[in-house]
Structure 1
Amino acid sequence: MIGVLFANTAAEAGQYVLAALQRSVSATQAQSITRSTVRERTPDLVVAVDAPDGWSADLIAWLRARPRKLVVFGHMPSALADMLRYQATGLPENLPAASRSAVAPAHASRESAAAVRYGALAQTLGGAPWHRPFERFDFTDEWNNLGYGAIRCDGSIWSLREAVQVPAEAELAAVEVAGERQLAYAALWDVDGSSVLWFNRPVGPCDSFEWRMVEQFVSGYRADTLPCQPVLSELPWGYDAAITSRLDCDEDIESARPLWQAYQRMDVPFSLAVNSQNLDRTEHHGILRELLADPHHGAVLSHTATHAPNWGGSYECALAEGSQSAQFIEAVTGVPVRYAVSPFHQSPPYALRGLADAGYDGCVGGIIRNDPEFLTARGGALAGMPTGFVGHSQQCMLHGECMLEEGDPLAVFKQAFDYAYATHTLFGYLDHPFSERYAYGWKDEASRIDAHEQFIAYMRSKARRPLFLHEDAALDFLRFRSLTQIVEEGGAFRVVTPSIQTTPLTLGVEFRGAHTQVESGKALQ
C-alpha cells in the first residue's frame, strides 16, 4: 500500500494527490495515513504532501528502518532537506510574470518564458528531455492542446512551492526562464538504501503526462532492492496506444455527416456530444439514430440542455441541465445517455455532483483556463466524487484556428499524441460540426476532413497497435479500471476486477518492470 501523508493545512492538495494515486494503483492501494502510522514504520511506500518541518525526524527514521520509497510533493521538511543536501535559495523576482503566457493568436501557439526542463536522469523513470512551459495556449487564453495544466506562482496548491537547489547528480528537472536555469523542480535521490522522489509543487505533476514518472517510481524503480506497487495501465491490454475523439454539437448536428462518413471510410469510431437545444429541429434526429445503429462504431453523449457556462452556475442548474438533456436525447434516439461533455470544458465540482445525481456515469472536460482539479493525468475516479463516477481530461482541440501557419500545420497535435504515446496515456481530441454562424477556423469541409485524415494516419504510423474507441467505450473502460481493486495479502498482490464486465477490453498491470495482462484474482509475479 501507498500511504499518503499530509497535515490538515495541506488537506486540499493531499486529497487531489490521493485521488491521483488511486487512479493509478486502485482505491485499495493508496490511503491517507496519520503521522503516527509513519512512527509505527508502516507502510513501505509513502507520499508526503507539504509535510511540516516538525515531521522530519519521523520521516528520516521511517526511511532508515529498512529500504523504502518516499515521494515528496511541495515542501521538503528541513532536517530531511539537510540530509539530501537540498538548499533554499531566493525566488527570482521575474518568475511570477515569466510564469504567464501571452494569448495565442489564430494559427499559432504561445507559452510562458518560465518552463520546466527535464535532464538525462529523467530517463531512469521513463521520462525524456521534456520541455513543459508553466503555461501555454493554442487558442486564445483557454486551450493547451498538449494537455497539461498550469504551474502557478501564486501560493496556491498548483504553484511552485519553493526556491531550492539540489545536487546536480540528483536533479531530474529544473525551472528555466527564457532558457536560463533558475532552480530545481524535481529530483531523485538514492540514500541509505532507500530512494526519494521530489516535485516542487504540492500536487506534484498530477495534471500532466509527467505523472508517468511517479508511476514508474512506485511500480518498478530499483525493483531488485526496493518495494514496488502495481500500477494499472490506462491502455487496454494488447495495445500500445488508445485514442478517442468526438464532435461537440454546440450549434448543429447534421453538418457532422461529411466528417462522420470520412471516419467510416477510415474505420474509426465516431462520437457526438449533443446540446439538446438542437433537437428542437427534427432534421438533426436522423444522424443520431443512424450513428447509434452501430453501437461498436458510434456514441452519443450529452453536451447539456442549453450549453450554459459552468453548467448554469450551481448544483441545481447542473442537475437540471444534465437531466433535461439526457431525457431529450433518449426520447429522440431510444438509447440512454450515460456520459456528458462539459460546455466550454468547464467542470466545477458542483456540476460533477449534479451530473452524478442526474444518473450519469462520468464526464469529459478539462481546460487550462479553469477548474485545475479536473485536469488529471489519468482518467478515473475524482476527489470527492462517489465511486463509479469517472472523469477524463481531453484538452486537445482539433480546430482550424489551431492549425499552425508556419511549418507543419499539425505539429502541435502530433506532439500531443507523442506525449500520450510515450506515457501510456489514453488520448482524446475534439472538433465541432460547422454551423450557419461559425466554421471553427476551417476553410471548408474538405480541408477539415483532410486534416483529420492526416492526423489519424500519423497516429497509425506512430503506434504499432493503436486502438480507436468512441467516447462511451473509452469511458466504460476507464470506469471498469476505476472499480478494479489491487489487493495485497501476505506480501503478494493480486488484481480483482468488478463482477460486472462493462467492457470487452482487458486490463494490463505494470509491476517490477514487467507489463502483463490482468488475470482476475491471480497473484502477480
Structure 2
Amino acid sequence: MIDVLFSHQSAEAGKIVLAALRRSVSAIQARHIARCDVRAGSVAVLAAVDIPNEDGQLLVEWLRAKSDSNAAKGKLIVFGRLPDALAKLLECRPCALPDNFGNAARSAVALSGHTAASRADVRYDALSARLGEGTWVRPFERFDFTDEWNNLGFGAVRADGSIWSVRDPIDVPNHARLASVYVDGERRFSYAALWDLESASVLWFNRPVGPCDSFEWRTVENFLSGHRGGELPCQPILSEIPWGFDAAVTSRLDCDEDVESARPLWETYRSLGVPFSLAVHTSNLRESVHHALLQELAAAPHAAILSHTATHAPNWGGSYEAAFEEGRESARAIEAVTAKPVRYAVSPFHQSPRYALEALADAGYAGCIGGIIRNDPEFLLARAGALAEMQDGFIGHSQQCMLHGDCMLADGDPLSVFKQAFDFAYETNTFFGYLDHPFSPRYQYGWRTEEQRIRAHEELIAYIRRRASRPLFLDEVSAMDFLRAKSLSCVVEADGSYLLQPSRQAATDLSLAVEYRGERIKMTSDGRLK
C-alpha cells in the first residue's frame, strides 16, 4: 500500500499524483491518508505531495522511526516542497533562481522541418542507473510543430509557480543527485534526488506533480517496485506492456477533412500485417463517398473506428452540453454507417478539458485519446488509465506523437524524433501511440506525396520491429480495451503476498504482466505473487 499525504492547500497536485500512482499500482493500492496516520507507525511507503513546511519534522520523525530495530523499513517519495527540517537532515541547501528563468523555461515556435526547445532543461546524472534508467535530457518545453506538438510525448515543466512548475531552487549533495536543471548548458540547481539511508530510501522531485506527465515516471515505478528489493518494502506495478511482449504500439489516422483518402495507407498497413485505425469526424459522413471505407474497416479484423467528434469544434464546443452532443451525435452517425457501436473518442486538436471528459463518460464512452503539450496538462499521462476524480471504467490515453510531413527533419535522419519517441516508450515500458491524417483537397499535412508518406510509415514500423524483439501492434480499440482492463484490475495484499484480481467488466485477450522486485511476472493460475 502507498499512503499519499497532501493538505487542502496542495489538493490539486495531490489528487493528480494519487491518480498517477493508482494507474501504476492499481486503484486500491494507493490512498490519501490523514496527517495523524503518518505517526501511527504502520506506514511503509509514503508519498508526500507539496506538504506544508511545518510538516517537515513529521517526515523526519517517520524516517528516524524506521531506524528502530523493531520498526519496518520504508520508502519515502517527496514531490514539490522539500521542507526545511527534511532538507537539513538530507544535507540540502537553498540557492538562487537564474536571472530571467521564466523566459529560459519557454520555447520558441518550431519551424517546419525543425524542432525547438527551451534554454532550460532537465538532465539526469549517472545515479539514475540505480533506478534502472539512463541519463535522459528533457527540455522544460519543446515543440515539433508550431507551439502545439511535442512528438517526444512529455509535458512542460513550468517556472510560473503552478503545480507544473519547479518548486524551489535547492541543491542536493553530489551523492544524491539524480537530475539537475540546466540553463544554456550550465547546471543551476537540483531537479530530482535519491537518498539511500540505512533503513529507508527517499526519492524527491522538485515539482508538485513530479514526473507524472513524462516517460520519467518510470523512475517512480522502479523505485516502488524494485529499488533495494532485498531489504526495503516493494509495491507490485501493473505493466503497460502485455505479458509476452517487450513493446506495444498503436497508430491511427484522424479523419478531420477526409476519410476515403486513407485507403492507400490502409492498404500499406494490411500488407505489413499491422492493425489500422480511423478516428472519424462525422461531418465527413454527409457525403456517401466516405461510407465504403468505414464499412470495410468495420468488417475487417485488426481494424478499428473511433469518434473524432461531430464537428471538430475547438475544446469540444466550449461546454459540457456542447461536448455531450458532439460525442453523442458522432457515435450515432458512425453506427448508422457501420452498424457497430463506438466506445472510444479522440479529442479534436487533442484538447481534452475536464468537462468534455465528463460529457463523454455520461454519453456512454469508455475512454478518450488526446494529450498535447500546449494545453490541458492534466491529460498528459505517463500511464494510461483512470483520471483524477473521474468514474471508474473511463480511461484516458495520451498519444502526442504526430507523424506528419511538417515534422520530418530537414537535416539528418528525417525520422529521428519519431524513433527517439519510440525508444523512450520502449525503454520505459510505455504503450506507444502515434497518429497521422488522411489527405484532403485543402491540406496534406506537410507531406509532398502519398508515396513519401507511405515510405515514412513503413520505415518507422521497420525501425520498431528492429528495435524491439517482440513488439505488439494493436488497433486503437484493442489497445484501449487492454488498458481499460488493466485500469480495472486490482492488486490485493493477502497473507504475506499479493494477489491480482483481473477486471470482470472489461474484456481483453491479452495477459497482464506484473513487475515486482526486479522481475517481470506472468500471473499464476490463482493470480498470486510469491
Whether these two folds match at TM > 0.5 is yes
Following the alignment from structure 1 to structure 2, what is the Cα–Cα distance between the partners of residues 278 and 361? 24
Preserved contact between residue 189 and residue 197 of structure 1 (Cα < 8 Å): yes
Shift of 1:95: 1.4
Shift of 1:518: 2.3
1:432 aligns with 2:432: no
Gaps of 5+ in 1: none
Matches within 5 A, 1:87-126: 87-126=93-132
Matches within 5 A, 1:185-204: 185-204=191-210
User: SS of the residue aligned with 1:117?
Assistant: strand
Aligned counterpart, 1:272: 278
Preserved contact between residue 494 and residue 520 of structure 1 (Cα < 8 Å): no
Aligned counterpart, 2:134: 128
Matches within 5 A, 1:26-175: 26-66=26-66, 67-175=73-181
Of residues 46-55 and 453-462 in structure 1, the stretch that sits farther from structure 2 once superposed is 46-55
Stretches of 4+ moved more than 2 A in 1? 518-523
Following the alignment from structure 1 to structure 2, what is the Cα–Cα distance between the partners of residues 229 and 210? 18
Following the alignment from structure 2 to structure 1, what is the Cα–Cα distance between the partners of residues 7 and 319? 30
1:303 aligns with 2:346: no
Shift of 1:500: 4.2
Aligned counterpart, 1:443: 448
Preserved contact between residue 484 and residue 506 of structure 2 (Cα < 8 Å): no
User: SS of the residue aligned with 1:318?
Assistant: helix
Once the two structures are superposed, residues 488-512 of structure 1 have per-residue CA deviations (whole angstroms, 9 ceiling, x without a partner) of 1233211110124511001000011
Gaps of 5+ in 2: 67-72
Question: Could you tell me which amino acid in structure 2 is paired with residue 32 of structure 1?
Answer: H
Shift of 1:200: 0.4
Shift of 1:521: 4.3
Shift of 1:241: 0.4
Q: Could you tell me which of 474, 494, 510 is aligned with 1:469?
A: 474
Following the alignment from structure 2 to structure 1, what is the Cα–Cα distance between the partners of residues 505 and 392? 15
Aligned counterpart, 1:18: 18
Shift of 1:520: 6.1
Question: Could you tell me which amino acid in structure 2 is paired with residue 60 of structure 1?
Answer: V
Question: Could you tell me which amino acid in structure 2 is paired with residue 19 of structure 1?
Answer: A
User: SS of the residue aligned with 2:10?
Assistant: helix
Q: Could you tell me which of 248, 256, 259 is aligned with 1:253?
A: 259
Question: Could you tell me which amino acid in structure 2 is paired with residue 307 of structure 1?
Answer: H
Question: Could you tell me which amino acid in structure 2 is paired with residue 96 of structure 1?
Answer: G
Following the alignment from structure 1 to structure 2, what is the Cα–Cα distance between the partners of residues 317 and 289? 28
1:397 aligns with 2:402: yes
Once the two structures are superposed, residues 331-382 of structure 1 have per-residue CA deviations (whole angstroms, 9 ceiling, x without a partner) of 1100000000000000000000000000000000000000000000000001
User: SS of the residue aligned with 1:272?
Assistant: strand
Question: Could you tell me which amino acid in structure 1 is paired with residue 411 of structure 2?
Answer: E
Aligned counterpart, 1:319: 324
Of residues 513-522 and 28-37 in structure 1, the stretch that sits farther from structure 2 once superposed is 513-522
Shift of 1:471: 0.3
Preserved contact between residue 253 and residue 433 of structure 1 (Cα < 8 Å): yes
Shift of 1:57: 2.2
Aligned counterpart, 1:286: 292
Following the alignment from structure 1 to structure 2, what is the Cα–Cα distance between the partners of residues 520 and 391? 29
User: SS of the residue aligned with 1:454?
Assistant: helix
User: SS of the residue aligned with 1:59?
Assistant: helix
Preserved contact between residue 481 and residue 506 of structure 2 (Cα < 8 Å): no
Of residues 118-127 and 426-435 in structure 1, the stretch that sits farther from structure 2 once superposed is 118-127
User: SS of the residue aligned with 2:257?
Assistant: coil
Aligned counterpart, 1:221: 227
Following the alignment from structure 2 to structure 1, what is the Cα–Cα distance between the partners of residues 150 and 380? 11
Following the alignment from structure 2 to structure 1, what is the Cα–Cα distance between the partners of residues 249 and 337? 28
Aligned counterpart, 1:234: 240
Preserved contact between residue 488 and residue 506 of structure 2 (Cα < 8 Å): no
Once the two structures are superposed, residues 243-295 of structure 1 have per-residue CA deviations (whole angstroms, 9 ceiling, x without a partner) of 0000000000000000000000000000000000000000100101101112x
User: SS of the residue aligned with 1:28?
Assistant: helix
Preserved contact between residue 495 and residue 519 of structure 1 (Cα < 8 Å): no
Return the TM-score normalized by structure 1: 0.99
Please give the root-mean-square deviation of Cα atoms over the aligned residues, in Å: 0.8
Following the alignment from structure 1 to structure 2, what is the Cα–Cα distance between the partners of residues 319 and 35? 39
Shift of 1:523: 2.3
Following the alignment from structure 1 to structure 2, what is the Cα–Cα distance between the partners of residues 403 and 422? 23
Provide the aligned length of Structure 1 versus Structure 2.
524
Following the alignment from structure 1 to structure 2, what is the Cα–Cα distance between the partners of residues 520 and 329? 40
Once the two structures are superposed, residues 114-152 of structure 1 have per-residue CA deviations (whole angstroms, 9 ceiling, x without a partner) of 000001100111221101000000000000000000000
Shift of 1:15: 0.2
Question: Could you tell me which amino acid in structure 2 is paired with residue 413 of structure 1?
Answer: F
Following the alignment from structure 2 to structure 1, what is the Cα–Cα distance between the partners of residues 125 and 376? 30
